């Protein structure tokens, strides 16, 4: 990457390959341990961010295409070695987070040395939609893992993560880690065409269903919109609130037919509906 004609970053692929062979030559010659530091940190970060059930370790870079001489990063996964061009969107997301952390950290350290300054002991990470491309199993561990990896970069480093998410699993994953005196929780809302920003008191909701139906996400039911409409109509019918019954869902038979269409047979709402509508 170049800025105003100055090359400031080689990018993930080139840096990874350069770091790998710099570390390999340093270790084989038992010399210049600092040259091995970026790759050591990158390996540590990838291992920390990988899902516990799907570990990832760094392997030697290799060529992938017949007509391209460039070597690409390779990760060993439970099903074998996979080169960069064949990584899934989720793996690219995780590895990119790891790389950007290490690149920023090492570049800052080198810049501080050139300026004859002490490196900072603070690290701030800004991440948009941290759950993007990640399986729910990964969403449940990504933010605590990222915090752990960032804090391990350097003893005594102070880490601040500012992240946005639309995932109830990400929020649920923070419940054991959120500290009221240290952390903050904000919500963006759209009201009358205007985006508002609100500091929301943190509270634990437990499972993702409770998060989805909390004021944070604002769903009436953690279901399809059709199932929500049917259940809300059924509850209005039980309250004898005829004004809340939409067209086509104004009688017991119409509501029952719609409930049968949109709810599974063992749905927990069925016993209440059957019992309370018995005549």
Q: Are residues 215 and 233 located together in one domain of the fold?
A: no
Instruction: Report the number of distinct structural domains present in the chain.
Output: 3
pTM of the complete model:
0.83
Phi and psi, residue 52, nearest 5°: -55, -30
**pLDDT tens digits for 72-100?**
999 999 999 999 999 999 999 999 999 99
Q: Are residues 234 and 264 in the same domain?
A: yes
Distance CA 196, CA 188 (A): 6
Asked, for residue 25, whether it belongs to a domain, the answer is yes
Confidence check: pLDDT of 28 > 60: no
Asked if residue 233 lies in contact with residue 254, where contact means CB atoms within 8 angstroms, the answer is no
Are residues 208 and 259 both part of a single domain?
A: no
Task: Indicate whether 218 pLDDT > 80.
Answer: yes
- End residue of a domain, out of 105, 130, 157: 105
Backbone angles phi, psi at 207, to 5 degrees: -85, 175
Question: Residue 204's pLDDT is what?
Answer: 94
Question: Are residues 170 and 74 located together in one domain of the fold?
Answer: no
**Rounded (10°) angle between helices 12-29 and 37-49:** 120
Given a cut of 80, is residue 127 above it in pLDDT? yes
Query: Are 66 and 153 within one domain?
Result: no
> Do the Cβ atoms of 20 and 58 come closer than 8 Å?
yes
Print the domain residue range for 8.
1-105
Distance separating alpha carbons of residues 197 and 184, to the nearest angstrom? 13
What DSSP state is assigned to residue 187?
Answer: E
């Amino acid at each position: 990457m170049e800025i105003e004609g100055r090359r400031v970053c080689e990018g993930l692929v080139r840096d990874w390959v350069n770091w790998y062979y710099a570390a390999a030559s340093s270790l084989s010659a038992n010399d210049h341990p600092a040259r091995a530091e970026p790759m050591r940190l990158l390996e540590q970060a990838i291992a920390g961010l990988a899902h516990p059930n799907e570990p990832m370790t760094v392997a030697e870079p290799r060529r992938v295409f017949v007509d391209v001489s460039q070597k690409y990063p390779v990760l060993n996964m439970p099903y074998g070695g996979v080169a960069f061009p064949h990584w899934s969107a989720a793996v690219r997301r995780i590895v990119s987070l790891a790389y950007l952390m290490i690149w920023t950290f090492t570049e800052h350290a080198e810049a501080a040395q050139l300026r004859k300054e002490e490196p900072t002991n603070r690290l701030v990470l800004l991440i948009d939609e941290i759950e993007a491309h990640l399986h729910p199993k990964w969403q449940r561990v990504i933010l605590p893992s990222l915090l752990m990896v960032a804090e391990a970069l350097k003893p005594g480093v102070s880490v601040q993560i500012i992240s946005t998410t639309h995932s109830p699993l990400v929020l649920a994953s923070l419940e054991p880690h959120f500290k009221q005196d240290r952390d903050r929780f904000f919500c963006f809302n759209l009201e009358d065409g205007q985006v508002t920003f609100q500091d929301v008191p943190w509270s634990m909701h437990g499972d993702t269903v409770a998060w989805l139906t909390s004021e944070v996400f604002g769903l009436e039911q953690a279901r399809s919109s059709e199932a929500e409409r049917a259940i809300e109509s059924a509850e209005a019918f039980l309250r004898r609130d005829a004004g809340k019954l939409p067209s086509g869902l104004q009688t017991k038979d119409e509501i029952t037919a719609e409930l049968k269409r949109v709810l599974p047979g063992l749905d927990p709402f069925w016993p209440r509906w059957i019992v309370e509508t018995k005549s």
